[in-house]
Chain A
Amino acid sequence: MTIADLPIPPGAEPSAESFLGAKTTFRSWALTTDHKRIGILFFFATTLMLLLGGVFAMLIRIEHLTPGPTIMSEETYDRMFTLHGVIMVWLFMIPSIPAAFGNFIVPLQIGATEVAFPRLNLASFYVYLLGATIVIASLFYGGIDTGWTFYVPYSSHTPAAVLPTVTGIFIVGWSSIMTGVNFIATVHTMRLRGLRWMRLPLFTWAIYGTSIIQILATPVLAMALTVVGLDHAFDWGLFDPARGGDPVLFQHLFWFYSHPAVYIMVLPAMGVVSDVIPTFARKNPYSYSAIVYSTMGIAFVGFLTWGHHMFVAGMSTFDAGAFGVLSMMVAIFSAIKVFTWVATLYKGSIALKTPLLYVFAFFFLFTFGGMTGVAVATMSLDVHWHDTYFVVAHFHFIMVGGTFTGFLAALHYWMPKVTGRMYNERWSVVAWALVTGGFVVTFTPQFFLGNGGMPRRYYDDPARFQSLHVISTVGSWALALGMILVPIYMTYAFFRGPKSGPNPWGSRSFEWRTASPPPERNFEGPVDFSIDAYDYTTPQTEDA
């Protein structure tokens, strides 16, 4: 039996009025409280940020094409890599999967008609928009040259626009907390009657774990950046070593947020992977509970690892060892997930479609990034690699190789769910090959650069690094080309793509048990969740 032959589950016949067609005025989008529409608003806003951050990345790479000045001055370069980091971390990756896909999919996966607080949800979008606007406006007030980490004492004295940028991030943090609070309340209280926790789809679990990190870590960043802003604007000097301030203390507070933030970014992508694999292997996850517990394990242990960013900042070897060991616990939980996913694929009936291709890219890139992560979590090795391109390559393997491939897998997997249209599989495979191949070519040389001694954030480099820099830059062009293709064929698919039917992948997951695109109230008539989200053995319709 192929995917196309699978019976449509009951209640999933296309309905007359979808949420997309119900109302089409500007007002109906701008003031919507429909979680699906808010998810789409977030999707476009964060994708715009991805584009902006991507342009900065391309310019940075072009600058490294030749030694010495290529296209920009040192000052411009500093502003470019800072805004690349700020935009990608806070304006794209953190809100992207949870606020865009989480918003759209989670209520469908728990059989709810809405999130618990629809108006808070909309507010969260506008708060995000306000914060993002302020961050980008700082570009016109001199930009910011501190790096995305805002390390003091430099950040409290640089003439750059520190205050607007940290204010913008502070406000975006509010949006993040609002989204987190909303999802926690939603998953706890809005589940369909009888839908127990251990029957929830794994994507919902991932968003739930992410939300916990969002509400507990974000306020600490807010406080750390508030003090940096006050130091910068009013010369309060709380982190100024000349007045008894402790810059390392800032690093502790900053990484107490910013390391868990890595899991805010990657856990949702892991949730996407956990949902895509059973659908395309037509199998129950090898161990559902192992994935759930490792998700919650990462959410918890993630709070105890921040010190591994500070091995060279004045930390005792005992502390460094403790933080190293705790960091490796994350690797154990991640490995549990990867092994479970691979075991799920084993002897599955695999349909090699684009979402699964991105999952394979995730396997390879994330695992590679994770293993180099174990390496840099070891103090003896990290002393050599600290602040070099090795670290840059490592976290891009996690962030792009993990989060971004998860984001693209989600986009392709749920495109028919959101729009009811199917994209062109041939073009999507071409884009996948360009993105994955381009990524590998861009970032693999950076491991060698870093190991050879190339420091990160340097404008210029010695001639012996040049060939590796050129390979990396050329790779980034392939990556960019792939990323340009995606919106083109997706836009075409939205207007002209073939109708996908309610469940083109033959998935058993709950969000597919309604029309695609779903009706305004998500489900027409009573919802049947009696068959589990990953149960591919029980026939779902009377005639099957």
Chain B
Amino acid sequence: MTAATRDHFATLEQQAQAVKLALAAFLASEALLFTAIFALVAAYQSDWPAAFRVGIEHNTRVLGSINTGVLLVSSTILAVGVETYRDGRKKLAAGLTFATAALGVVFLVIKLTEYAEHFHEGIYPGGRGRFFLEHTEHGLPTFWTLYYLATGLHAVHVTIGTAVVGWRGYRLLRGSSLHALEATALYWHLVDVIWLFLWPIFYLA
């Protein structure tokens, strides 16, 4: 998308408003997608509080918390990027956007490291793996299956988000409009906010 308006919009303001509103509607939809998962987690956690505690304590808290930091910093950088664009410093804004995408990659690398660690321990979704032969608490397989489902879906969103943010940085170098950057940032913030819910649910007892 270039800074020029598409011809069915009368003004750039109208286009910007439409893009931001549509994105807000889409984010509401995304929020409900994760709300369904949170409902699953809440229900099963109340069914198996002890097993969930065991699962949370076993989880890699340090890596999970570092990832929280990574996403928070990335979101802040992107917010600053939007502000610098508003000030007209587009090169810097593009740089900050690329930095955000880079942190998205860092998040994914840490996340995959975690998964690899869990697989190494023999924790697989569906209660399969050597881990569950030693840990036989009822509900523990459910915890880990939900963990893979929720963080996996989130990781898919981070992957898409990273690609979109990276693409936006590339477009910024060629004169992308403010509302496109704002919309990208909104999406990235949502991905960040969802993690802020997943973090306490799966890492903090």
**A residues at B contact (CB < 8 Å):** 112-114, 116-118, 177, 180-182, 184-186, 188-190, 215-220, 222-224, 227, 230, 234-238, 243-246, 249, 252-253, 256
Contact A177 B26 (CB under 8 A): yes
What residue in chain B is nearest A224 (Cβ atoms)?
B36
Contact B32 A219 (CB under 8 A): yes
Contact B40 A238 (CB under 8 A): yes
A252 vs B36: C-alpha distance in the bound complex, in angstroms?
10
What residue in chain B is nearest A249 (Cβ atoms)?
B43
Chain A residues within an 8 Å CB radius of B149: 227, 230, 236, 238
Q: Answer yes or no: B125 CB below 8 A from chain A CBs.
A: yes
Contact B25 A218 (CB under 8 A): no
Which of the candidate stretches B14-22, B93-101, B169-177 sits at the interface with the other chain? B14-22
Given A235-B126, A238-B149, check contact A185 B32 (CB 8 Å): no
What residue in chain A is nearest B51 (Cβ atoms)?
A244
Contact B39 A243 (CB under 8 A): no
Chain A residues within an 8 Å CB radius of B22: 116-117, 181-182, 184-185
Contact A118 B25 (CB under 8 A): no
Chain A residues within an 8 Å CB radius of B145: 236-238
Contact B29 A215 (CB under 8 A): yes
Assuming A223-B33, A246-B47, what are 12 further A-B pairs, CB within 8 angstroms? A185-B18, A185-B25, A189-B21, A190-B14, A190-B18, A219-B33, A236-B125, A237-B127, A238-B40, A238-B146, A243-B141, A253-B36
A116 vs B8: C-alpha distance in the bound complex, in angstroms?
8
Contact B125 A216 (CB under 8 A): no
Chain A residues within an 8 Å CB radius of B21: 184-185, 188-189
Chain B residues within an 8 Å CB radius of A182: 22
Contact A237 B141 (CB under 8 A): yes
Contact B18 A181 (CB under 8 A): no
Contact B26 A249 (CB under 8 A): no
Chain A residues within an 8 Å CB radius of B35: 220
B17 to chain A, nearest CB (A): 5
Chain A residues within an 8 Å CB radius of B39: 249, 252-253
Chain B residues within an 8 Å CB radius of A227: 40, 149
Chain B residues within an 8 Å CB radius of A243: 127, 141-142
- Give me 22 A-to-B residue pairs in the complex whose CB atoms sit less than 8 angstroms apart, sorted by A's number: A181-B26, A181-B29, A184-B21, A184-B22, A185-B18, A185-B25, A188-B21, A189-B18, A190-B8, A190-B18, A215-B25, A215-B28, A215-B29, A220-B32, A220-B33, A220-B35, A236-B149, A238-B40, A244-B142, A246-B43, A252-B39, A253-B36
What residue in chain B is nearest A180 (Cβ atoms)?
B25
Residues 90-145 (chain B) with a chain A CB within 8 angstroms: 125-127, 138-139, 141-142, 145
B20 to chain A, nearest CB (A): 9
Contact A118 B8 (CB under 8 A): yes
Q: Answer yes or no: B37 CB below 8 A from chain A CBs.
A: yes
Q: Answer yes or no: B30 CB below 8 A from chain A CBs.
A: yes
B157 to chain A, nearest CB (A): 12
A134 vs B141: C-alpha distance in the bound complex, in angstroms?
32
What residue in chain B is nearest A236 (Cβ atoms)?
B126
What residue in chain A is nearest B32 (Cβ atoms)?
A219
Size class of the B contact interface (CB-based, 8 Å): 20 to 34
What residue in chain B is nearest A234 (Cβ atoms)?
B126
Contact B29 A177 (CB under 8 A): yes
A110 vs B125: C-alpha distance in the bound complex, in angstroms?
50
Chain B residues within an 8 Å CB radius of A253: 36, 39-40
Q: Kindly name the residue among A222, A224, A244 whose own CB sees the greatest number of chain B CB atoms within 10 A.
A: A244
Contact B32 A244 (CB under 8 A): no
A189 vs B25: C-alpha distance in the bound complex, in angstroms?
13
Given A118-B8, A236-B126, check contact A249 B25 (CB 8 Å): no
Chain B residues within an 8 Å CB radius of A246: 43-44, 47
Q: Answer yes or no: B48 CB below 8 A from chain A CBs.
A: yes
Contact A113 B8 (CB under 8 A): yes
Question: Which 7 residue pairs spanning A and B have beta carbons closest together?
Answer: A223-B36, A219-B33, A114-B8, A185-B22, A189-B18, A116-B18, A236-B126
A215 vs B30: C-alpha distance in the bound complex, in angstroms?
9
Chain B residues within an 8 Å CB radius of A237: 126-127, 141-142, 145
Q: Kindly name the residue among A116, A186, A246 whose own CB sees the greatest number of chain B CB atoms within 10 A.
A: A116
Given A181-B29, A185-B25, A215-B25, check contact A249 B126 (CB 8 Å): no
A33 to chain B, nearest CB (A): 9
A425 vs B139: C-alpha distance in the bound complex, in angstroms?
65
Given A184-B22, A189-B21, check contact A216 B32 (CB 8 Å): yes
A256 vs B8: C-alpha distance in the bound complex, in angstroms?
37
Chain A residues within an 8 Å CB radius of B36: 219-220, 222-224, 253, 256
A236 to chain B, nearest CB (A): 4
Q: Kindly name the residue among B48, B125, B138 whose own CB sees the greatest number of chain A CB atoms within 10 A.
A: B125
Contact A234 B33 (CB under 8 A): no
